[in-house]
């Protein structure tokens, strides 16, 4: 049975389109179960009816026309009860509803199972048979299993709305596609598919004899692509900082004659023409990268593909496609590399959507730094159909909408306009203190990574950096940056914000963040070799980084060093010991540098319960609520499947946060929050009420949080905190906080949280 099941799922997944997938599904299930009928009814949400979308055994004409209300007939019963109904004679059931158009008169035995996806009934699968008999347990189990396996296909059909639109050509229903937020913000614009100018996959093998002619063609293409990358880098320098140029250096190094080209030449020497040789090399690298478990390394496949396409485009120069970019581009692609993004004039890019990719892809990092609303990993999005279509990008929720109704579009237009006017209105708060209406002050700092973040942060009046993610400058390179390279990068951060403090986190790789040149392959990376664990095992990497930080701080003295993913006091002590050693070394070199404050991040449950012991040993604590929420709730922060369960208002998270601040203060140490919670007005106010000294967030949220702080009184947020601490449901807490803030006149600041 398992084999049959696997075959059906495979076949259905390979079907050309959704209607054929459903037809195939009905046919294969009927054959596998030896029944006379298999039908699939799908929920049409708009009409609130189950529509017969495919059937083997019922009349063909009925498909797409016959439907049942939500409580109508046995199909409605299955939907309401959300469990199988297995009857030896459907005719004798009081709920049986005869549908003349289907020709179902002769079928007595009935088995219907709901098709469930994320707790929602999407439709019903039914098998029927002439005989009066009950389907046995194994048959029931088979149908339940297949319906669960195929629910993803049906979810796609359901989400795209394409099926129902077919039934009524005039019905152009909105389609919603869910992915992950890559960069917050909303945008409306026209899709521009950045499809490859040249298609490597279609290049055939071709034998050649004139080897040097082929090598000359390659050299010419290489020269042109190198120039293209340099031009892009120059253009990027205007919108990004100089340090981000490293991204382009990686490209140039891949084009170095000893790197990819050397492999291509080897194939040419074996008698393959240049285009075929290029395809072979790119394919091999892409396959290698794509097989890696590590999502970051998988991303690098996109870079190699991009370079391959660029080279091929020059080799086939007559085929170059010139894309016309409208004023309101929503860039679309399977993967969009950072250089591809740079190719489009910034003022034309409203949003970005990719079907693959993750929050940590280069492109997403750059998009966040540039403030472009972005949704990544929208697996179900039919890219080709989106080209030139009007699309809404909801980077707050990680959702894409096509065929939006006039009303929905209007709602988004309002959100975009309100966001813009909100930001414009908030600018006047730039130099105002972050203090409540009754005078309690909190420090608001920013999280940075790229140089580009510096200007955006200063424009918003940040009081320093609460988290500088040093892994980002490491990620945009193809080798470890040297001590001197690091010193230069760090110096730029430190001097831009001086005299405000800059909290530099030591290299935090592992989990979903890794370096191409330092691969970490693990079954379960989030529970593996991450953060401080990696750097304590590699003191040579750690020491270079610390020395670079210390040297960069010379004469500024605004450096703070922070350790990620600490789970025990031993790790903190060990790291402190190394930092002290590095400090002595730097002083021995004759530099007058003060020993910086050292702190630890509280990101795992173990450190919550060690908070006091840790606070005794270090100068400050900072809570990374992104990871803390993930580890407390056992919910992968990047997994769309469980995204609904990832809730930082969960009582366990709130109580842990309260415990940490109390413990730190018992030891007289300051404590901050640098996860996303700090940048969301509702949770930021709760954190302030708990007593957190500093909130550090993405620059785009800083003025919103400041506005929220300035509009409330401490008595109000303390009362709110006490109320939510007594609640036991995270969803209820989130809604309650929103409600109370709306009542307090803060609805403008919460708008993006609302479901549309």
Which of Mg ion, ligand PEP, none does residue 303 bind to, with CB < 5 to 8 Å depending on kind?
none
In the complex, the smallest distance separating the C-beta of residue 409 from ligand PEP, rounded to whole angstroms, is 33
Q: Determine if 178 is a binding residue for ligand PEP (CB under 6 A).
A: no
List the one residue out of 521, 509, 494 whose CA is nearest residue 564: 509
Count the Cβ atoms, other than its own, within 10 Å of residue 406: 7
* 144 vs 536 by CB, closer to ligand PEP: 536
List the one residue out of 717, 718, 721, 753 whose CA is nearest residue 735: 753
* 165 vs 652 by CB, closer to ligand PEP: 652
In the complex, the smallest distance separating the C-beta of residue 447 from ligand PEP, rounded to whole angstroms, is 7
Of 393-401, 431-439, 622-630, 649-657, the segment contacting ligand PEP by CB under 6 A is: 622-630
* 153 vs 602 by CB, closer to ligand PEP: 602
Token pair 């054929």 is found at 20
Whole-angstrom distance, CA of residue 330 vs CA of residue 193: 8
Contact in structure between 549 and 542 (CB atoms under 8 Å)? no
List the one residue out of 488, 495, 440 whose CA is nearest residue 464: 495
In the complex, the smallest distance separating the C-beta of residue 626 from Mg ion, rounded to whole angstroms, is 5
Of 109-117, 535-543, 567-575, 627-635, the segment contacting Mg ion by CB under 5 A is: 627-635
Q: Determine if 624 is a binding residue for ligand PEP (CB under 6 A).
A: yes
Q: How far apart are the first and last CA of the chain?
A: 43
Count the Cβ atoms, other than its own, within 10 Å of residue 553: 26
* 180 vs 311 by CB, closer to ligand PEP: 180
Whole-angstrom distance, CA of residue 35 vs CA of residue 136: 12
In the complex, the smallest distance separating the C-beta of residue 679 from Mg ion, rounded to whole angstroms, is 14
Burial 601-612 (b: 16+ CB within 10 A, else e): bbbbeebbebbb
CA dihedral 705, 706, 711, 714 (to 10 degrees): 90
* 236 vs 467 by CB, closer to ligand PEP: 467
- Three-class SS of residue 50? strand
User: Which residues sit opposite 186 in a β-bridge?
Assistant: 394
Contact in structure between 144 and 84 (CB atoms under 8 Å)? yes
Whole-angstrom distance, CA of residue 649 vs CA of residue 734: 6
In the complex, the smallest distance separating the C-beta of residue 513 from ligand PEP, rounded to whole angstroms, is 7
* 571 vs 627 by CB, closer to Mg ion: 627
In the complex, the smallest distance separating the C-beta of residue 472 from Mg ion, rounded to whole angstroms, is 13
Of 243, 419, 571, 603, the residue at the interface with ligand PEP (CB under 6 A) is 603
Of 139, 453, 627, 738, the residue at the interface with Mg ion (CB under 5 A) is 627
Q: Determine if 676 is a binding residue for Mg ion (CB under 5 A).
A: no
User: Which residues sit opposite 329 in a β-bridge?
Assistant: 190, 349
Of 402, 462, 674, 749, the residue at the interface with ligand PEP (CB under 6 A) is 674
Which of Mg ion, ligand PEP, none does residue 575 bind to, with CB < 5 to 8 Å depending on kind?
none
In the complex, the smallest distance separating the C-beta of residue 679 from ligand PEP, rounded to whole angstroms, is 10
Catalytic choice (38, 650, 674, 752): 674
Of 675, 679, 682, 730, the residue at the interface with ligand PEP (CB under 6 A) is 675
Whole-angstrom distance, CA of residue 457 vs CA of residue 701: 10
Structure-token pair, residue 724 = 């939510």
Site map for Mg ion, 580-609, x if CB under 5 A? -----------------------x------
* 268 vs 699 by CB, closer to ligand PEP: 699
* 412 vs 474 by CB, closer to Mg ion: 474
Structure-token pair, residue 88 = 């030896």
Neighbouring residues of 740: CB distance < 8 A, sequence distance ≥ 6: 720
Q: Determine if 624 is a binding residue for Mg ion (CB under 5 A).
A: yes
Active site residue 117: no
Which of ligand PEP, Mg ion, none does residue 23 bind to, with CB < 5 to 8 Å depending on kind?
none
Structure-token pair, residue 531 = 């953060």
Of 587, 626, 652, 667, the residue at the interface with ligand PEP (CB under 6 A) is 626
Which of ligand PEP, Mg ion, none does residue 39 bind to, with CB < 5 to 8 Å depending on kind?
none
Q: Determine if 469 is a binding residue for ligand PEP (CB under 6 A).
A: yes
In the complex, the smallest distance separating the C-beta of residue 468 from ligand PEP, rounded to whole angstroms, is 10
Of 110-118, 165-173, 324-332, 624-632, the segment contacting ligand PEP by CB under 6 A is: 624-632
DSSP codes joined into one string, 162-218: HHHHHHSTT----EEEE-EEEE--EEEEEEEE---SS-GGGPPP-B-S-HHHHHHHH
Q: Determine if 571 is a binding residue for Mg ion (CB under 5 A).
A: no
In 353-508, alpha helices (H)? 362-370, 383-386, 406-426, 452-459, 471-475, 483-497
Active site residue 362: yes
Of 558, 625, 700, 740, the residue at the interface with ligand PEP (CB under 6 A) is 625
Catalytic choice (190, 362, 650, 752): 362
In the complex, the smallest distance separating the C-beta of residue 446 from Mg ion, rounded to whole angstroms, is 16
- Three-class SS of residue 390? strand
- Three-class SS of residue 464? coil
**In this structure, are strands 670-673 and 180-183 parallel, antiparallel, or unpaired?**
unpaired
* 403 vs 625 by CB, closer to ligand PEP: 625
* 377 vs 675 by CB, closer to ligand PEP: 675
DSSP structural state of residue 429: G
Whole-angstrom distance, CA of residue 419 vs CA of residue 739: 20
| Dihedral of alpha carbons 419, 420, 426, 427, sign | positive
Of 312, 363, 467, 548, the residue at the interface with ligand PEP (CB under 6 A) is 467
In the complex, the smallest distance separating the C-beta of residue 637 from Mg ion, rounded to whole angstroms, is 9
Q: Determine if 627 is a binding residue for ligand PEP (CB under 6 A).
A: yes
Count the Cβ atoms, other than its own, within 10 Å of residue 190: 18
Contacts (CB under 6 A) with ligand PEP, residues 492-511: 508
Neighbouring residues of 202: CB distance < 8 A, sequence distance ≥ 6: none
Q: Among all residues, which ones are annotated catalytic?
A: 362, 674
Which residues in this chain contact Mg ion in the complex, by CB under 5 A?
603, 624, 627
Which residues in this chain contact ligand PEP in the complex, by CB under 6 A?
467, 469, 508, 603, 624-627, 674-675
């Amino acid at each position: 049975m398992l084999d049959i099941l696997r075959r059906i799922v495979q076949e259905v997944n390979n079907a050309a389109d959704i209607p054929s997938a459903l037809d195939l599904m009905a046919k294969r299930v009927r054959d596998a179960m030896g029944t006379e009928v298999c039908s699939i009814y799908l929920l049409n949400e708009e009409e609130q009816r189950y529509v017969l979308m495919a059937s083997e055994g019922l009349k063909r004409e009925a498909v797409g026309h016959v439907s049942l209300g939500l409580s109508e007939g046995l199909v409605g019963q299955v939907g309401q009860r959300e469990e199988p109904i297995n009857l030896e004679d459907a005719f004798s059931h009081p709920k049986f509803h005869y549908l003349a158009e289907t020709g179902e008169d002769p079928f007595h035995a009935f088995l219907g199972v709901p098709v469930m996806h994320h707790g929602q009934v999407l439709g019903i699968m039914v098998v029927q048979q002439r005989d009066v008999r009950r389907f046995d347990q194994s048959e029931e189990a088979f149908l339940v299993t297949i319906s669960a396996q195929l629910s993803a296909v049906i979810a796609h059909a359901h989400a795209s709305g394409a099926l129902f639109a077919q039934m009524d050509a005039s019905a152009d229903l909105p389609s919603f596609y869910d992915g992950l937020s890559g960069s917050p913000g909303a945008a409306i614009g026209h899709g521009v598919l950045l499809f490859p100018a040249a298609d490597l996959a279609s290049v055939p093998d071709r034998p050649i004899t004139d080897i040097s002619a082929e090598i000359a063609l390659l050299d010419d293409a290489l020269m042109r692509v190198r120039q293209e990358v340099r031009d892009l880098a120059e253009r990027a320098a205007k919108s990004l900082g100089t340090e981000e140029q490293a991204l382009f250096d990686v490209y140039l190094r891949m084009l170095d004659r000893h790197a990819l080209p050397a492999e291509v030449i080897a194939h040419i020497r074996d008698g393959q023409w240049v285009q075929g040789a290029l395809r072979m090399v790119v394919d091999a690298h892409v396959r290698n990268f794509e097989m890696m478990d590590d999502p970051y390394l998988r991303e690098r496949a996109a870079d190699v593909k991009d370079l391959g396409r660029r080279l091929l485009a020059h080799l086939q120069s007559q085929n170059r496609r010139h894309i016309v970019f409208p004023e309101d581009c929503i860039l679309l692609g399977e993967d969009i590399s950072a250089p591809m993004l740079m190719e489009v004039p910034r003022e034309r890019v409203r949003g970005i959507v990719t079907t693959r990719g993750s929050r940590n892809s280069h492109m997403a990092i750059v998009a966040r730094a540039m403030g472009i609303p972005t949704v990544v990993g929208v697996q179900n999005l039919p890219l080709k159909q989106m080209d030139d279509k009007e699309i809404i990008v909801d980077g707050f929720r990680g959702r894409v909408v096509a065929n939006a109704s006039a009303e929905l579009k209007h709602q988004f237009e309002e959100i975009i306009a309100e966001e813009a006017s909100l930001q414009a209105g908030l600018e006047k708060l730039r130099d105002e203190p972050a203090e409540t209406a009754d005078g309690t002050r909190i420090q608001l700092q920013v999280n940075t990574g790229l140089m580009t973040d510096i200007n955006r942060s200063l424009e918003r009046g940040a009081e320093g950096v609460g988290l500088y993610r040093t892994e980002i400058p490491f990620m945009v390179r193809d080798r470890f940056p040297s001590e001197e390279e690091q010193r230069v990068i760090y110096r730029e951060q430190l001097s831009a914000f001086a005299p405000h403090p800059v909290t530099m986190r030591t290299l935090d790789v592992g989990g979903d963040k890794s370096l191409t040149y330092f691969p970490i392959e693990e079954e379960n990376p989030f529970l593996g070799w991450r953060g401080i664990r990696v750097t304590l095992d590699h003191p040579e990497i750690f020491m270079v980084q610390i020395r670079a930080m210390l040297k960069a701080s010379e004469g500024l003295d605004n450096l703070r060093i922070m350790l990620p993913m600490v789970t025990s006091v031993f790790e903190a002590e060990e790291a402190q010991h190394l930092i002290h050693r590095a400090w002595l070394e730097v002083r021995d070199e004759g530099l007058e540098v003060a020993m910086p404050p050292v702190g630890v991040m509280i990101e795992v449950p173990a450190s919550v319960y060690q908070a006091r012991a840790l606070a005794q040993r270090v100068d400050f604590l900072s809570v990374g609520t992104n990871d803390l929420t993930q580890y407390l709730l056992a919910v992968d922060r990047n997994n769309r499947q469980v995204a609904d369960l990832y809730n930082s208002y969960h009582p366990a998270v709130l109580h842990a946060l309260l415990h940490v601040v109390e413990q730190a203060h018992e030891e007289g140490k300051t404590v901050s929050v640098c996860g996303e919670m700090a940048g969301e007005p509702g949770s930021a106010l709760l954190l302030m009420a708990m007593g957190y000294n500093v909130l550090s967030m993405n620059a785009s949220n800083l003025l919103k949080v400041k506005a929220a702080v300035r509009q409330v009184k401490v008595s109000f947020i303390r009362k709110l905190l006490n109320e939510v601490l007594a609640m036991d449901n995270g969803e209820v807490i989130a809604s309650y906080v929103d409600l109370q803030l709306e009542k307090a006149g803060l609805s403008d600041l919460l708008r993006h949280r609302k479901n549309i």
